[in-house]
């Protein structure tokens, strides 16, 4: 059996928020939960008066509840990470309970003190960032784009994992929910948006010195692929690449946008650095396939974002099993690896997208809208997976914006 988010959340309804006087779920302290196999992590926000003693107490209670209820259900908890964030969303305390197996016990007590002993004992520790994943301050000089509310980068540790496909489908999915969305094909070494969006017969126009984005499938798009010869290899020196990216981002007439999605080149190269130095992002999404080897690359990409001071909004598992047209599921590359990785990194898992024939066909014919429509078992699984992903991204973006103080909650009185 494996832990699930719903299970962990339900356990947490038995953990009191000592300051607000309600359980941590009802009080709103619980910000997110991630669970996979025998690993779980969660993030809590307690009011400012909470200090290390209260953090340790709440973490211990959460751990006790989860292990007690798990062992009653015959399940194991091998690792639990409880993070506490301040009003700005910065992690101020981390409690890790690792390497333990809850032994079988018949107790149903909910008292923290009645937890069966575990080996080694839980070790709440102070704020201990994962090596290489510290989040320094944003680079000085970065700024937003006028009229653009959220800038979100989509990156991956390596090519071919479906980063551009996910970036595009996130953009189209957000637009279908009524948002004004732009997509910047920042993969300047191998732009794929002209094909994926069917731009090949269209001409790039420039008005009063500003690039006019294409308006297709409900989104505004700009890509270097429409400014250079598609047949020629794109060889950029560092400063040229820097300039090309900045021009695409800053000299495009985006107008008012709720979201600007940036499809980054694969890996941890200098475009990401240029982006971080020049644009103030709401956050980044890391795309990964389920295999172990892919996760190592994705962890590097996540480390890069954190080093650049960019919050990770979540991880997406692409090519998470193959769904045949008859609806049968085959775990070609395995399943759940990216969720486990997200859990280990302590970042949200946004969702999994299966391999389907239709996604590849729709990309090749430049019709991403079709991924959200159509019938049949495979098509509806794809559509549901994409809808789920888009909703999770919306929530994580809103939370990140609130944490960074960029967006205040709106109180509507009628
Ligand atoms: P990357 O940007 O990581 O290099 P792409 O998004 O260009 O990857 O995807 C590479 C290829 O894999 C494309 O042909 C794309 O249509 C296909 N692809 C990506 N994700 C899926 C998926 N979930 N199902 C089927 N084909 C996919």
- Give the per-residue pLDDT at 37: 65
Q: Which pLDDT does position 193 carry in this prediction?
A: 95
Distance from residue 135's CA to the centre of ligand 1 (Å) = 30
CA-nearest residue for atom 26, ligand 1, is: 360
Predicted confidence at residue 41, as pLDDT, reads 78
* Separation between Cα atoms, residue 146 and residue 208, nearest integer Å: 17
Atom of ligand 1 nearest to the CA of 287: 3
Whether residue 378 has its Cβ less than 6 Å from ligand 1:
no
User: Class of the 148-404 domain?
Assistant: alpha beta
Which pLDDT score is estimated for 321? 85
Classified by CATH at the fold level, domain 5-113 comes out as GMP Synthetase; Chain A, domain 3 (3.30.300)
Could you tell me the distance, in angstroms and rounded to a whole number, from the CA of residue 188 to the centre of ligand 1?
A: 17
- The Å distance, Cα 163 to ligand 1 centre, comes to 7
Residues 6+ apart with CB under 8 A from 51: none
Q: Are 308 and 272 in contact (CB under 8 A)?
A: yes
391-395 long-range Cβ contacts below 8 angstroms, 24+ apart: 392/314, 392/348, 392/350, 392/351, 393/152, 393/170, 393/174, 393/285, 393/313, 393/314, 393/350, 394/174, 394/177
pLDDT number for residue 97: 81
Please give the helix or strand (H or E) that residue 330 lies within, else none: strand 329-330
The pLDDT value given to residue 220: 96
Per-residue pLDDT of the chain (414 residues; tens, 9 = 90+): 577 888 889 999 999 999 999 999 999 999 877 766 677 778 899 998 899 999 999 999 999 999 999 988 888 887 788 888 888 777 788 787 864 333 333 222 222 322 322 223 233 223 333 333 334 455 555 677 889 999 999 999 889 999 999 999 999 999 999 999 999 999 888 889 999 999 988 888 888 889 999 999 999 999 988 887 766 666 666 677 788 888 999 999 999 999 999 999 888 778 888 888 889 999 999 999 998 888 888 899 999 898 888 999 999 999 988 888 888 888 877 777 888 888 888 899 999 999 999 999 999 999 999 999 978 899 999 999 999 999 999 999 988 887 776 554 444 444
Residue carrying structure tokens 């071919």? 160
pLDDT at 106: 27
User: What are the two backbone dihedrals, phi and then psi, of residue 390, each rounded to the nearest 5 degrees?
Assistant: -65, -45
Q: For residue 12, what pLDDT is reported?
A: 95
Task: Output the CA 298–ligand 1 centroid distance in Å.
Answer: 16
Which residue has the least CA distance to atom 23 on ligand 1? Answer: 355
Q: Rounded to the nearest whole angstrom, what is the distance from the C-alpha of residue 161 to the centroid of ligand 1?
A: 6
Indicate which atom in ligand 1 lies nearest the CA of residue 159: 4
319 lines ligand 1 (CB under 6 A): yes
Q: Which pLDDT score is estimated for 104?
A: 30
Alpha helices in 188-262 (DSSP H): 193-196, 238-250
**Phi, psi (deg, nearest 5) at residue 368:** -65, -25
Q: Domain-by-domain residue ranges, the chain?
A: 5-113, 148-404
Q: What does the alpha-carbon distance between residue 254 and residue 91 come to, in Å, rounded to a whole number?
A: 34
Pocket test for ligand 1, best of 162, 163, 384 (most atoms within 8 A of CB): 162
Q: How confident is the model at residue 102, as a pLDDT? A: 30
Q: Is 289's C-beta closer than 6 angstroms to any atom of ligand 1?
A: no
The residue behind tokens 């590359």 is 333
* CB-CB contact of 333 with 290 (8 Å): yes
Both tokens of residue 92?
């101020």
Q: 213: Cβ below 6 Å to ligand 1?
A: no
């Amino acid at each position: 059996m494996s832990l699930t988010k719903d299970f962990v959340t339900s356990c947490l309804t038995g953990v009191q928020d000592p300051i607000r006087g309600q359980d941590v779920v009802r009080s709103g302290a619980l910000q997110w939960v991630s669970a996979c196999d025998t690993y779980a992590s969660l993030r809590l926000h307690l009011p400012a008066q909470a200090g290390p003693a209260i953090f340790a107490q709440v973490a211990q209670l959460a751990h006790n509840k989860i292990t007690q209820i798990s062992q009653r259900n015959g399940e194991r908890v091998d690792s639990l990470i409880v993070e506490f964030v301040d009003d700005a969303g910065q992690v101020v305390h981390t409690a890790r309970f690792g390497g333990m197996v809850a032994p079988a016990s018949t107790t149903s007590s909910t008292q923290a003190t009645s937890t069966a002993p575990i080996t080694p004992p839980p070790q709440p520790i102070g704020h201990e960032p994962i090596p290489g994943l510290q989040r320094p301050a944003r680079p000085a000089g970065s700024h937003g784009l006028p009229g653009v509310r959220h800038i979100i980068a989509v990156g991956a540790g390596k090519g071919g994992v479906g980063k551009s496909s996910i970036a595009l489908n996130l953009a189209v999915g957000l637009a279908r929910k009524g948002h004004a969305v732009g997509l910047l094909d920042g993969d300047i070494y191998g732009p794929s948006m002209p094909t994926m969006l069917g731009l090949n017969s269209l001409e790039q126009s420039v008005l009063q010195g500003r690039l006019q984005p294409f308006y297709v499938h409900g989104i505004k798009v700009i890509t270097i692929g429409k400014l250079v010869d598609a047949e020629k290899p794109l060889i950029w020196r560092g400063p040229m690449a820097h300039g090309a990216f900045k021009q695409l981002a800053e000299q495009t007439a985006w107008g008012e946008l709720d979201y600007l999605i940036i499809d980054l080149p694969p890996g941890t190269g200098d475009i990401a650095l240029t982006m971080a130095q020049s644009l103030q992002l709401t956050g980044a999404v890391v795309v990964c396939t389920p295999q172990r080897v892919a996760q190592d690359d994705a962890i590097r990409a996540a480390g890069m974002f954190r080093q650049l001071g960019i919050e990770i909004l979540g991880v997406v598992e692409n090519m998470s099993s193959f769904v045949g047209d008859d609806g049968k599921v085959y775990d070609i590359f395995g399943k759940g690896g990216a969720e486990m990785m997200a859990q280990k990194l302590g970042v949200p898992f946004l969702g999994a997208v299966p391999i389907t024939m239709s996604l590849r066909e729709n990309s090749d014919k430049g019709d991403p809208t079709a991924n959200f429509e159509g019938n049949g078992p495979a098509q509806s699984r794809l559509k549901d997976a994409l809808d789920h992903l888009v909703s999770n991204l919306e929530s994580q973006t809103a939370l990140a914006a609130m944490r960074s103080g960029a967006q205040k909650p709106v109180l509507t009185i009628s």
